[in-house]
Each structure stands twice: as structure tokens, then as C-alpha cells.
Amino acid sequence: MTTASPALIDRVPIIEDTLDAFRGAIAGDLTAYRGHVYRVFNFCRALAPGVPDGDDKIALAGAFHDLSLWSDHTVDYLSPSARRLRAHLERDGRLAWSAELERMVLWHHKLTPYRGEDATLVEAFRQADLVDLSFGWVGFGLPAAFVREVQAAFPAVGFHRRVMQLVGAWAVTHPLRPFPMMRL
């Protein structure tokens, strides 16, 4: 199955505002994380077109999904990232979105397809993150030209290497639970 690709979006106020609020925590990794968020955002939009409020939901989940790697200094970051997202939604008056967006964050490293509640957007988000983490080798039907366009617009600038450094340092100090973010 080939998925049609939408026009690339290179600036989303929700993403910019969220990342700006955490600029101090993300520090030197801000450009790398920003690129990852935009790559996932664009891939997810292409994988789940036409979802009501989809762009805003994807932008919020994208901005928060790995955030606690930096804000909470932990590789066990899924729950803290989901809590930060929920607090943001509550302040923003969008608490009705909380369950769906928290699932997007909590299940984005699931090793098998997500088939639970809100599966359309949760699974598309999981796939989009994997498209980025695999450098596009896993494409889920996205046109290769679109993947390359997104990658060119938002270069990785060391994102994958930095995540591996953080995970590697964690694994050394937590040998019994080296990859706490992975889900079955």
C-alpha cells in the first residue's frame, strides 16, 4: 500500500512554543530534537490523513513524546513525558484529548502494531517514529521521495547518535532494565 504524502510543514506554533518552553532542559540537543519532532510530525500526518484535529494532536504528542529524556534526565521517559503532556493539555483547556495523546506517547516504542483504543492515530505515530529512527528504511508505505524530502528539510544533526549515547549510558547503570522505553 502506498500512502499519498501531504505537503511538508516546516513550522508549527505548538511545536515551537513547547520546545521553547523546554529550551533550557534540552539545551545543546534542541536542534536535533526539533528536527526529530518535525520529521515524526510530517510522517504521521502522511500516515493518518484526515484525522479530526490531527495536526494539533500530532504536534502536541510529537513535542512531548521524548521530552523527558532531557527534562527528567531519564531513559525511562515515556510516563514522565505523558504526565508533562497531560499537564500542558490541562493548562491549555484541551484535557479531552489527554487519553489519546498520552497513548501516542506511551506506545510510540511498541514493538508490534498498536491495536487498542485510538489505534488510528496511536499506530500512525508509532510508525512515524520508527520511520525516523530507521532513517526511512522502514517506511510503512510512505513514498521514498517524501521521506527524503522530510529528511532534507530537517537533518538529523546527530539526533540518533545522541539518543544512543543517552541509552548507552543508562544501560551501563541499569543493566537489568537497559531499554525501559520499549513496549511489547
* 62-99 residue pLDDT tens: 999 999 999 999 888 999 999 999 999 999 999 999 99
Partnered with residue 183 across adjacent β-strands are 110
> What pTM value is reported for the model?
0.92
Q: Is the pLDDT of residue 170 over 90?
A: no
Per-residue pLDDT reduced to its tens digit, 2-38: 456 789 999 999 999 999 999 999 999 999 999 999 9
Per-residue burial over 11-28, b if 16 or more Cβ lie within 10 Å, else e, is ebebbeebbeebeeebee
Please list, in sequence order, all residues whose beta carbon lies within 8 angstroms of the beta carbon of residue 113, skipping any fewer than 6 positions away: 123, 126
Q: What is the rounded (10 degree) CA torsion for 161, 167, 172, 174?
A: 180
What proportion of the chain, given as a percentage, has pLDDT over 90?
Answer: 79
Q: State whether residue 176 is helix, strand or coil.
A: coil
Nearest-angstrom CA–CA distance, 160 and 158:
6
